[in-house]
Amino acid sequence: MVKFLVGITQRHGNKKDFIMNDTIEEEINKNWVQGHFDFDQRDYFIELLTRHKPKYCLETGFCSGTSSITICASSKPEKMISISLARNNMETANALKDTYNFRLIEGDSTKVLIDKFFETEYENGIDFYHVDGGHTYEIVKHDLVSAYNYMNDNSIIIVDDYHSNVCNLPEVVMAVDEFAKENNLKVEQIRTDSGKGMAKIVISKVLLK
């Protein structure tokens, strides 16, 4: 069984073993609107997703749509759904819908993310899950717990604003650490040069048996 553990990875933009794919970057830049999700996070997502190649992706927190753009352009998923409250960049959402297998659901994740949703929308499970919706303990914990049983083997969860120097959100940290401890998961703390913090959790169903 994997013990709860937090490791720290400093993500530098000039990593030598990864060459940015210009085509992916061009796709992203077509609809890029600078917001909370920054260029360092974009580059980390591109590197992670081009290697992992997830087919079934889920996200909470669309807003400007830059993280959704990055996920879609980097992995070309068979399905990508982003769940978010109102005040979203609908121009970007419509562009993604026209270009990729993408759908935006405007609603409260604590009401949308229930068993019926996952059984209907993700009958083949989830390969990549980006959690960046509500930032209270209750919402983050719900968003993690509700999806956990539907995560595929070797799937990845990324939670934004985890030990971030830019956004200090202790409730996010509390929810992630508690979720990981309860499920014997390892949390890798990602830090970017810009000071953003993210939690990376790899779900290995083999190790959890």
Q: What is the pLDDT of residues 157-184, one digit of tens each?
A: 999 999 999 989 999 999 999 999 999 9
Q: Give the mean model confidence (pLDDT) for residues 15-43.
A: 81
Does some domain include residue 45?
Answer: yes
Rounded distance, CA 49 to CA 70, Å? 9
Q: How many domains are contained in the chain?
A: 1
Does some domain include residue 30?
Answer: no
Q: In the structure, what pLDDT confidence band is assigned to residue 8 with cuts at 50, 70 and 90?
A: low
CB pairs under 8 A, 24+ apart, for 82-89? 82/58, 83/58, 83/59, 83/107, 83/109, 83/112, 83/113, 83/133, 84/60, 84/133, 85/133, 87/63, 88/62, 88/63, 89/33, 89/62, 89/63, 89/64, 89/65
Decide the pairing of beta strands 197-203 and 151-160.
antiparallel
Does some domain include residue 15?
Answer: no
Q: In the structure, what pLDDT confidence band is assigned to residue 10 with cuts at 50, 70 and 90?
A: low
Does some domain include residue 146?
Answer: yes
Domain that holds residue 114: 5-10+35-208
Q: Give the mean model confidence (pLDDT) for residues 139-154.
A: 98
Q: Is the pLDDT of residue 48 over 80?
A: yes
Does some domain include residue 140?
Answer: yes
Alpha carbons within 13 angstroms on the beta-carbon side of residue 201 total 32
Does some domain include residue 80?
Answer: yes
Q: Is the pLDDT of residue 59 over 50?
A: yes
Does some domain include residue 198?
Answer: yes
Q: Give the mean model confidence (pLDDT) for residues 114-120.
A: 98
Does some domain include residue 78?
Answer: yes
Share of the chain above pLDDT 70, in %: 89
Q: Is the pLDDT of residue 5 over 60?
A: no
Q: Give the mean model confidence (pLDDT) for residues 10-18.
A: 48
pLDDT at 170: 97
CATH code of the domain covering residue 42: 3.40.50.150
Contact 129, 59 (CB under 8 A): yes
Considering only 3-17, 58-72, 119-133, which range has the smallest mean pLDDT? 3-17
pLDDT at 174: 98
Higher pLDDT, 208 or 30: 30
Mean pLDDT of all residues in the chain?
90
pTM over 0.85: yes
